[in-house]
């Protein structure tokens, strides 16, 4: 029995292990068509205009190039990039927009942070449409965040013209295994009625209780002699909040990425 759209959304999980099976061109085209039907900036007018759709999608299927991507982005640490038969790289693309405007007698002025801010909406709704389409067709996917941190390599690797910038990457394939569904925060932690409602300390801790248990179960499952477990213990990390803020998303992590984003914008001439 086919899953409903809601079932697909609620059952979605990140896949890191893929089968060797390829994704057929017909199936991939369905995923790509779904991406193009995402809501985006620009509104809708009579005559079929669906907004400027200021993004491009680069499809990488060649295994050698997928292996190169793994090396360029992750120094070979993410074998799933090579194993998954399809990589989709979503780019902000104001190059096409500016060329089109110039050819039509318009004003090719689309650059800068404001334009990037608007274009990102179109990119990420398209990417998430691709995720849901892939899931509905029995595939699995995983976002690869490292695509935005390597401006000196990715712009050349994809032969991107000025004003085209990679901002999201999906790997897609047939799941070899489906991991346990990670818990989400409860509705009351995220949803506010009419005005913002700041929880008490006790309520806030309770909101994260399921995530804390998920982390503790993962931590307990690590081999006693594993390098990762020894590192966690040496840093005195015992809670999810400590893991997130002291070992994973540290202040220096974001400082380096701030610099990388500025470099990306400069090199791609989106500033």
| 36 in the same domain as 165 | yes
Cα gap 183→189, rounded to integer Å: 13
Q: For residues 74 and 197, state if they share a domain.
A: no
The pLDDT assigned to 41 comes to 73
One domain, residues 144 and 198: no
pLDDT of residue 269: 84
Do 132 and 216 lie in a common domain?
no
Per the structure, how many domains does the chain have? 2
Contact 83, 18 (CB under 8 A): yes
Tokens of 19: 């089968």
In which domain, by residue range, is 154 found? 5-179
Question: Does any domain span residue 268?
Answer: no
- Strand partners of residue 93: 164
Q: Which residue has the tokens 């404001």?
A: 114
Of 179, 197, 213, the domain-final residue: 179
Tokens of 182: 């990670």
Given 179, 199, 218, the domain boundary residue is 179
pLDDT at 223: 94
Q: What is the mean pLDDT of each run of 10 residues along the chain (271 residues)?
A: 80 93 97 92 58 91 96 92 97 92 90 87 94 95 90 88 93 94 95 96 97 96 92 95 92 82 82 74
Q: How far apart are CA 97 and CA 52, in angstroms?
A: 7
Alpha-carbon distance of 171 to 74, in angstroms, equals 14
Residue 267: inside a domain: no
Instruction: Determine whether 51 is exposed, middle or buried from the number of CB atoms within 10 Å of its CB (0-12, 13-18, 19+).
Output: middle
Coil, strand or helix at 166: strand
Q: Note the pTM of the prediction, 2 decimals.
A: 0.90
Residue 149: per-residue pLDDT: 81
| 66 falls within a domain | yes
């Amino acid at each position: 029995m086919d899953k409903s759209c809601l079932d697909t959304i609620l059952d979605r999980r990140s896949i890191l292990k893929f089968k060797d099976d390829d994704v057929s061109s017909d199936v991939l085209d369905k995923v790509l068509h779904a991406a193009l039907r995402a809501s985006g900036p620009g509104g809708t007018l009579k005559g079929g205009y669906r907004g400027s759709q200021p993004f491009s999608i680069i499809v990488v299927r060649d295994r050698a190039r997928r292996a190169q991507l793994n090396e360029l982005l992750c120094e070979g640490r993410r074998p799933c990039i090579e194993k998954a038969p399809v990589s989709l790289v979503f780019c902000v693309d104001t190059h096409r927009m500016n060329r089109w405007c110039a050819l039509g007698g318009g004003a090719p002025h689309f650059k800068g942070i404001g334009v990037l801010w608007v274009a990102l909406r179109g990119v990420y709704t398209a990417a998430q449409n691709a995720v849901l389409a892939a899931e509905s067709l029995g595939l699995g996917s995983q976002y690869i965040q490292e695509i935005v941190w390597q401006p000196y390599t990715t712009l050349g690797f994809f032969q991107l013209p000025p004003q085209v910038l990679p901002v999201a990457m999906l790997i897609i394939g047939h799941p070899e295994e489906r991991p346990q569904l990670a818990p989400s925060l409860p509705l009351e932690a995220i949803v506010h009625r009419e005005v913002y409602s700041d929880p008490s300390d006790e309520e806030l801790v309770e909101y994260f209780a399921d995530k804390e248990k998920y982390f503790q179960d993962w931590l307990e499952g690590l081999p006693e002699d594993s390098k990762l477990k020894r590192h966690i213990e040496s840093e005195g990390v015992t809670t999810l909040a400590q893991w997130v803020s002291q070992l994973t998303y540290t202040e220096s992590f974001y400082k380096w990425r701030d610099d990388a984003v500025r470099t990306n914008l400069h090199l791609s001439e989106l500033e």
